[in-house]
Structure 1
Amino acid sequence: MSPIAARLERLPFSHFHFKLLVMGGLGFMFEAVDAAIIAFILPVLRTKWHLTSFETGLLGSSTYIGFLVGALFAGLLGDRFGRKVIMMWSLMIFCVLTLANAFVNDWHTFFVLRALAGIGMGAEGAIIAPFLVEFVSNKYRGSFAGALAGFFSFGFVAAALIGFFVIPLSPEGWRIALVIVSLPVLVLLWWRKSLHESPRWLESRGRHAEAGAVVADIEAQIERRGVKLAPVVATADTPFLHEHSSSFFGNLKTLWMVPLTKTTFMTWCLWLSITFCSYAFFVWIPGLLVQHGMTITKSFGFSIGIYVAQIPGYYSAAYFNEKIGRKATIVTYMVLACLSAVSLAFSTTDLTIVIFAVALSFSMNGVNAGQYAYTPEVFPTHLRATGMGTASAFGRIGAICSPMLVGYIYPLWGFPGVFGMCTAMLAMGGLAVLILGVSTTGRTLEEITAAEYGDDHAGSLPPAKAGI
């Protein structure tokens, strides 16, 4: 373990960490509001612009085309140029373009602007977790990351409330909703003043003085609140490789070189399965309820309850991340999600549909809390943002395809076809984690890297392995 990591690992959970949690969590919440509001806008736009089921599904997929691009490049840029600047600019991009989308008058322009806004959303979602977990001790890293991801649920609930109370107010209510969800750009001012760059990343780039100054400032903030810090635990006297300087796509190549191949494959399968199913479900559920015979107002009301179920899903999984471990948490909630999806496939009454939809919402978001904690842990520091970003980007292929597939499959096979497809995808992701996943609980980020990839990886890969 490096000196910087040793100093960070002995820090207790403090006001500093709580502030990080809130700042990062609000970023996830704003992303979720913007992503989820499309589910409540689509039924209105479908009628307003006389869209087919496929065109409606295409609009539902538009954001996630941008997500793929944003997540991929955020990871590559975040490992090359730093985490903080990427997170701030990504928030600006998606807020500005979402505001612009409120003023369009045809579905083609709407599609283009949603895709461009998705670049910012995908970039932000991919960079927050690998950025902030680098400040956190292994004693509470799993709970921290799970609670961080839990802010997504507040965003979905906020979107449902906006959809229920704002969109039905007038024929232009969908425009007002988009203006409302674009407002979080104001938080940029707070972020610019308050956030540090990751000291672990700075150290991996050979910028030891800057890394030391960041940690010293964190220590001073904690001590000013009357906390006496434990002494730094001595670290083994082993060389710490740093200043990794691969080409822009060198890190992407490295992910598919031994010994990282298994980890990359496992995380990509996990993200594809849960992202595919989440967006098939949450983008379409208000519309599916309408097509099942409910009024728009009634379907939006039920959707609020379905979205609220995300909150206990996230925070129960955040607890189990530390109690039973990230891998076990992901697999357990995957099993619950499969059972819920199978039950939903054969539901016929409004009551059973809503009950099993709530259960599916709860369990899928428990998986999300596990994966946001787990994915950054299994990659070395200099590849952490790239590993997280590429897994998220690959998962967005599912987000792009699934809304369109639902639009195609539902008229043919109804609920059994849609949720049978979701069950198969969830089973694939759960098996990948069960068979290929590693245990990360109770281990520092550096210990995980050393144990899984060898001591040379604790700081940086040797140049020959980095594809330089």
Structure 2
Amino acid sequence: MKFLFTIRTKLISSLYTQLDIINRKRMEDDRSMGSTTINQTNKIKLDDVPLNKFHIKIAGLTFGAHFTDGYILGIVGFALTLLTPQMGLSTFWVGLIGSSALFGLFLGSLVLGWVSDRVGRQKIFVLSFILITVASVLQFFAETPAELVFYRILIGIGLGGDYSVGHALLAEVSPRKHRGPLLGSFSMIWTFGYVAANIIGIYATSLSPDAWKWMLASSAIPAVIILFARIGSPESPRWLASKGRHEEALQVIQKHFGPNVILEDPIEQEQTQESKGFMALFHKDMIKRTLFNCIFWVCLVMPYFAIYTFLPIILDEFGLQQGFGVDLLLNGLLIIGAVLGIWFTIKFTRRGFLISSFVVLIISLGLLSILPSNSTVLMIIAFSVFTLILSAVSNLVGVFPAESFPTDIRSSGIGLATSISRLGSAASTFILPMSMANLGVQNTMLCLTGILIVGLIVSVAWAPETKTLSLTEAGDTH
């Protein structure tokens, strides 16, 4: 009897123990399910996260590159005023030196944009500024026009790669509500760099015949600051996810945006799995988007770089160069226009802003092309309106390409559009001195007006509206 009682006691104890284990497991499961329900309820897409410090950091690192770009392309016009008599440069060499960084931009954006879609954003994000810093310093030691052209091509390659990667990376982490202003703000920062170059150039040209060396090499100062600031920056979570590296993407997202942030809906995540390659830019479902971004961009920057690279010379041809007064006015309007462009990007639709800007640019530059030489006031007004609106609408060259392509070819698409734009601007900058010598300044401006008309036609036909869409939706052409 005692033996049976002992057995019964052990069985009951064992049963209670098992029941206790089952109850604890059930409670843990309930808590887990409750936690999952809460977490699922609190999930937020990367497109919809509030703006935070990380967004500002990536924007700052990207904008620093555009400040350097504006400075590099702005300072060369003033350096050429000293270089030309010192080296006895022909119009050929003046045009080639003025456009060499743009030719480099064509190569860098095309090649490094494609590479970025293969190896990641972060590597090119750092590599590009190593190249810019080294080549900027080497300009100081250039002794021939050919050496200077070579170094500036290297700088352009670095800048081109940075355009492709910086815009892609910023677009891929930005919330849709702030994506347009963040991407478009690069134009304002670029303008600050360009105007800073003009101010320094105006002052430095009076110091010494050799001041051009310091003027050109000084671009190494902002470049090296940005280089060190970029070391350690993370990879794009969208790019990681597009390569199937979801765990790494999630780690980046949780570290910089919070534990409840997800990349996309499951369906959207699956769409990023297929890598299509560079030639996908020319498939029938993407070709109009690719052509639009290449053409509208090149039609804006050809007049921009051609006119503002040689602004002192052009103003002198128009009889407007009087103690740098008009030059400073136009530089001020470039800054005002860039700031205004951010507000326009927020206020208006992408498509409406672009098309209406082309119309105003065509009218103002067309008037400048036909006004008689004694219409000084009207010419200054036309030039001022042209400058203000061109600077404002330039915000969209940072917005449209970054929003127009899916993740697996985004950097390639931006790179292609950048390269075509820089090839066109390099050609217009190279040709402009010879065109002015042979056709005159007004006929040259008329030719640039024709380029703006092409941009208007393409924008009316193909410009998409991407303002309220998620990045995945914006890049979908179906």
Alignment of 1:157-172 (within 5 A): 157-172=195-210
CA distance in 1, matches of 2:320, 2:365: 20
> Among 335, 342, 346, which residue is 2:366 paired with?
342
Q: Which residue of 1 aligns with 2:226?
A: 187
Shifted more, 377-386 versus 162-171: the winner is 162-171
CA distance in 2, matches of 1:238, 1:370: 26
CA distance in 2, matches of 1:367, 1:112: 32
Measured after TM superposition, the shift of residue 130 of structure 1 is 1.5
Q: Which residue of 1 aligns with 2:464?
A: 438
| CA distances 1:314-356 after superposition (whole Å, capped 9, x unpaired) | 2222222232211211112222221221122234255544443
1:50 aligns to 2:88 (yes or no): yes
| CA distances 1:87-106 after superposition (whole Å, capped 9, x unpaired) | 22112212211211122122
1:72 aligns to 2:97 (yes or no): no
Q: Which residue of 1 aligns with 2:20?
A: none
1:28 aligns to 2:52 (yes or no): no
Equivalent residue pairs, number: 434
SS of the equivalent of 1:442 reads coil
Inter-CA distance 11–45: structure 2 relative to 1 (3 Å threshold): same
| CA distances 1:232-281 after superposition (whole Å, capped 9, x unpaired) | 799365770445456xxx41x11111100111111111122112111111
8 Å CA contact 1:317, 1:329 repeated in 2:
no
8 Å CA contact 1:31, 1:125 repeated in 2:
no
CA distance in 2, matches of 1:77, 1:167: 40
RMSD: 2.4
Measured after TM superposition, the shift of residue 303 of structure 1 is 2.8
1:92 aligns to 2:126 (yes or no): no
Inter-CA distance 351–218: structure 2 relative to 1 (3 Å threshold): same
1:417 aligns to 2:449 (yes or no): no
Q: Which residue of 1 aligns with 2:304?
A: 278
Q: Which residue of 2 aligns with 1:37?
A: 75
| CA distances 1:152-177 after superposition (whole Å, capped 9, x unpaired) | 11111111111012232111111111
Counterpart amino acid of residue 328 in structure 1: G
> Among 135, 142, 145, which residue is 2:183 paired with?
145
| CA distances 1:294-320 after superposition (whole Å, capped 9, x unpaired) | 77x934x54333223222222222222
Q: Give the gaps of 5 or more residues in structure 1.
A: 224-228, 454-468
Q: Which residue of 2 aligns with 1:464?
A: none
Q: Which residue of 2 aligns with 1:332?
A: 356
Inter-CA distance 443–168: structure 2 relative to 1 (3 Å threshold): same
Instruction: Name the % identity.
Output: 25
1:298 aligns to 2:323 (yes or no): yes
Inter-CA distance 74–149: structure 2 relative to 1 (3 Å threshold): farther
Q: Which residue of 2 aligns with 1:240?
A: 270
CA distance in 1, matches of 2:186, 2:316: 32
8 Å CA contact 1:53, 1:408 repeated in 2:
yes
Counterpart amino acid of residue 317 in structure 1: G
Measured after TM superposition, the shift of residue 408 of structure 1 is 1.6
> Among 168, 173, 179, which residue is 2:211 paired with?
173
Inter-CA distance 354–112: structure 2 relative to 1 (3 Å threshold): farther
CA distance in 2, matches of 1:290, 1:106: 28
CA distance in 2, matches of 1:58, 1:180: 21
CA distance in 2, matches of 1:411, 1:242: 52
Shifted more, 253-262 versus 101-110: the winner is 101-110
CA distance in 2, matches of 1:234, 1:294: 55
CA distance in 2, matches of 1:151, 1:393: 20
8 Å CA contact 1:330, 1:366 repeated in 2:
no
Q: Compute the TM-score of the two structures, normalised by the length of structure 2.
A: 0.85
Counterpart amino acid of residue 52 in structure 2: S
Inter-CA distance 328–167: structure 2 relative to 1 (3 Å threshold): same
Q: Which has the larger radius of gyration?
A: 2
Q: Give the gaps of 5 or more residues in structure 2.
A: 1-42
8 Å CA contact 2:108, 2:160 repeated in 1:
yes
8 Å CA contact 1:167, 1:176 repeated in 2:
no
8 Å CA contact 1:268, 1:394 repeated in 2:
yes
Alignment of 1:310-389 (within 5 A): 310-347=334-371, 348=373, 351-389=377-415
Shifted more, 339-348 versus 116-125: the winner is 339-348
